[in-house]
Amino acid sequence: MTSEETADRIERRREGLSHWKWLTGVWLILTAIIEPVIYFLIWPHLPPGNMTSSARGAQFDMMVLTMIAAPVMVAVLAYFAYALIVFRHPKGRPLVDGPPLRGNLRVQTAWITITSAIVMGAFVFGTYELIVPAGAGGAEGPSPIWTPASHTELPVQVIGQQWIWTYRYPTFGGFETTQLMLPNNTEIAFHVTSLDVIHSFWAYQLGVKADANPGVDDVAFTQTNQLGRITVRCSELCGIWHGAMYGYGEVVSPSAFETWAKAMERRLAPATRLLPPFAWTYTPSANGAGGGYYPQTDPYYDKTLYDQGRSGPEGNLPALRVEKSQRVG
Amino acid sequence: MPKAARLALALGIFVVAVALAVIGAMAYLRSNPPNVDYAAGHQSGQPVHLTIQTVGQIGFGAHPSWVSYLALAPDGRWVHSTLWQLPAHTLVDVTVYEYDTGGPLRNQVFGSVSGVIGDDYVLNGKPVRLLDSNSGNGVAHTFSVPALGINVPLWGVPSSAKNICAHAPCSFSSVHNVITFSFRTPGPGQYHWQCLIPCGAGFLDGNGGPMQSIGYMGGFLKVVDA
């Protein structure tokens, strides 16, 4: 190597170090700005809110992942902008390629180490958060890995059927209703099942999402810690009216919940007696249609309507007319 | 004509043909089933009378064996449609002529009447709040509007009857039940309603076919400003 080549190499290395210093400086400044913005300003507004322990957990996870991702994004964008400005090819000068990265052990080692650390960190953090702190609000099947320490949770059975959700409260006589009402500051155990196809119970503000499989008791835990309205949607395509399978619920004070539940238990007692005994799963008949019963046992039997074929019980209704296009034959 | 011009002309004709086909298909889909309009000409403060019937098989059209609802239009025609336009904030007096056989409910909770005025209805002259579908004729269908909390189970007719209607619109000479109830429409919007009985016989879980088709066992209450 000649002395000229050595001098050129040293000069290029000095230039390279200078670029790195600039880039690192810009990256550090931008990261120092964006990280507090995420922590203090964006975190409280990240979905799904903090209405329950699982929602708060999901919000925290999103904050951590956003804070990990933000410096990476800043680095990419800063390098992009820096390259556009500094490495711009001046008109009239010969095009010279930069130093090759291949064989550059320091760059390769740094790249593999940093990216592996980020991915492995996200993997360990995600796995821990999924299982350990609060069950993450996801369903854990009939034998949950994580269970709350209190063991005093309120069980609420969620039953999916095309295309509506119903809820059973086993600790209040097992009444069933289309209203989802929950007490505040209470550990809730959702037992999710289905009477027909696969649905998915997604209570957005609660941070709870659980598949509803027929014949399966899918358990998800959460603890309520804020009053408010809940939106429930089905998040598994379950037929043409899947989009209409939504409803609303509410987290109320424990005393209001107690009052509501006891009133519902009393009011719905006749209907509850017709329900199957409470179970974690049900095996419904394949099809409710068919009949097979006889008017002798019919409490609503009306001889006029059933047997005589008279021209209608209410004389003031309009006469039945058949539209021509609807006739057959 | 130059080759490029011929190509452009052919392309233009193709685009116009595709556009016409799409517009035609959309127009057909939007017009079928038709909208039964109870809001037009409605006088404010007056109730709307909605008369409907449920039949075990429609007897005509593309799916003659399917269960279905029909509505009596204001001009006195029975219309095969489940899209009913109603005025907002108005009392709706509903009369249902139920012509289908029934059976046990998959979920007995839908044997309860809810969301209608007084939380009960009149079935063949008797007030009813709850139907036991495991006895008698069972429940044939429900009229349920989940967003409004409305659920009205419709008692079935005896399957042993000799005069079961097999072709809609059914007349009073066929065995039937008469159900009356009232509800109040909310503000403007489209409210999906459906039958919650899996009555699509022959389909998976009874929930295919008519259960998934507008015009048969589900539709919309199109509530509009009066």
Distance in Å, alpha carbon of A193 to nearest chain B alpha carbon? 13
| pLDDT band at residue A303 using 50, 70 and 90 as cut-offs | low
Q: CA A31, A36, A38, A42 torsion: positive or negative?
A: negative
For an interface test with A, the pick among B137, B142, B194, B217 (most A C-beta atoms closer than 10 Å) comes out as B137
Contact yes or no for A159 and B51 at CB 8 A:
no
pLDDT of the residue at A292: 29
pLDDT of the residue at A307: 53
Q: Bigger pLDDT: A88 or A317? A: A88
Closest-CA residue of A relative to B74 is A318
The predicted model gives B174-183 an average pLDDT of 93
Closest-CA residue of B relative to A306 is B175
**Average pLDDT of the residues of chain B:** 90
N- to C-terminal Cα separation, chain A: 101
| CA geometry: angle A294, A295, A298, nearest 5 deg | 105
pLDDT of the residue at A294: 29
Neighbours of A302 (CB within 10 A): 19
Closest partner residue to A309 (CB to CB) among B144, B156, B173 is: B173
* Candidate from A63-72, A122-131, A196-205 with smallest mean pLDDT: A122-131
Q: Per-residue pLDDT tens for A223-278?
A: 999 999 999 999 999 988 999 999 999 999 999 999 999 999 999 999 998 888 88
Please tell me the distance from the alpha carbon of residue A214 to that of residue A172, in angstroms, as a whole number: 24
A200: pLDDT strictly greater than 90: yes
B33: cis peptide before it, omega within 30°?
Answer: yes
Please tell me the distance from the alpha carbon of residue B182 to that of residue B135, in angstroms, as a whole number: 26
Contact yes or no for A166 and B132 at CB 8 A:
no
A142: cis peptide before it, omega within 30°?
Answer: no
A315: pLDDT strictly greater than 60: no
Please, are residues B53 and B100 in contact by the beta-carbon 8 Å criterion? no
Please tell me the distance from the alpha carbon of residue B206 to that of residue A309, in angstroms, as a whole number: 31
Please, are residues A239 and B218 in contact by the beta-carbon 8 Å criterion? no
pLDDT of the residue at A327: 35
Contact yes or no for B136 and A299 at CB 8 A:
yes
B residues 138..157 contacting A (CB < 8 A):
138-140, 144, 146, 149, 151, 155-157
Instruction: Give residue limits of the domains in chain B.
Output: 1-31, 34-224
B residues 13..32 contacting A (CB < 8 A):
none
Nearest-CA neighbor of B149 among B100, B182, B181, B116? B116
Q: Per-residue pLDDT tens for A27-64?
A: 999 999 999 999 999 999 998 988 998 898 889 999 99
Q: Bigger pLDDT: B222 or B167? A: B222
Q: Per-residue pLDDT tens for A102-149?
A: 888 888 999 999 999 999 999 999 888 887 666 677 888 888 888 888
Edge-first strand order for the sheet with A164-169 is A175-177, A164-169, A154-161, A187-194, A218-223
Closest-CA residue of A relative to B173 is A309
A75: pLDDT strictly greater than 50: yes
Q: Does B107 touch chain A (CB under 8 A)?
A: yes
Please tell me the distance from the alpha carbon of residue A60 to that of residue A34, in angstroms, as a whole number: 17
> What is the DSSP annotation of A110-148?
HHHHHHHHHHHHHHHHHHHHHHTTTGGGB---SS-SS--
The predicted model gives A211-218 an average pLDDT of 92
Q: Bigger pLDDT: A329 or B28? A: B28
| pLDDT band at residue B191 using 50, 70 and 90 as cut-offs | very high
Nearest-CA neighbor of B129 among B139, B137, B138, B119? B119
Q: Per-residue pLDDT tens for B52-76?
A: 999 998 988 888 889 999 999 998 8
Chain A residues within 8 A of B173 when measuring between CB atoms: 309-311
Q: Per-residue pLDDT tens for B125-152?
A: 889 999 988 888 889 999 999 999 999 9
Q: Bigger pLDDT: B85 or A282? A: B85
* Maximum Cα–Cα distance across chain B: 81
Nearest-CA neighbor of A166 among A137, A197, A201? A201
The predicted model gives B8-33 an average pLDDT of 89
Please, are residues B217 and B67 in contact by the beta-carbon 8 Å criterion? yes
Contact yes or no for B218 and A241 at CB 8 A:
yes
A81: pLDDT strictly greater than 60: yes
The predicted model gives B37-62 an average pLDDT of 90
pLDDT of the residue at A289: 38
Please tell me the distance from the alpha carbon of residue A106 to that of residue A158, in angstroms, as a whole number: 56
Determine whether B38 is exposed, middle or buried from the number of CB atoms within 10 Å of its CB (0-12, 13-18, 19+): buried
A328: pLDDT strictly greater than 60: no
Q: Specify the 3-state DSSP secondary structure of B4.
A: helix
Q: Bigger pLDDT: B151 or B104? A: B151
pLDDT of the residue at B13: 95
Q: Which helix (H) or strand (E) holds A259?
A: helix A254-267
Please tell me the distance from the alpha carbon of residue B157 to that of residue B100, in angstroms, as a whole number: 6
For an interface test with A, the pick among B49, B72, B105, B109 (most A C-beta atoms closer than 10 Å) comes out as B109
Q: What domains sit in chain A, N to C, each tagged with a CATH number?
A: 9-87+105-133 (no CATH), 154-274 (2.60.40.420)
| pLDDT band at residue A324 using 50, 70 and 90 as cut-offs | very low
Distance in Å, alpha carbon of B165 to nearest chain A alpha carbon? 11
Nearest-CA neighbor of B119 among B149, B155, B90, B86? B149
Edge-first strand order for the sheet with B78-79 is B78-79, B68-72, B48-55, B91-98, B177-184, B121-123, B126-128
Distance in Å, alpha carbon of A46 to nearest chain B alpha carbon? 28
Neighbours of B123 (CB within 10 A): 24
Taking CA atoms, A62 is separated from A66, A126, A324, B147, in Å, by 6, 10, 62, 32
Please tell me the distance from the alpha carbon of residue B78 to that of residue B35, in angstroms, as a whole number: 12
Closest partner residue to A161 (CB to CB) among B106, B159, B218 is: B106
* Token couple for A240: 């043409």
Look up the CATH number of domain B34-224.
2.60.40.420
pLDDT of the residue at B136: 80
Q: Percentage of residues in chain A with pLDDT exceeding 70? A: 83
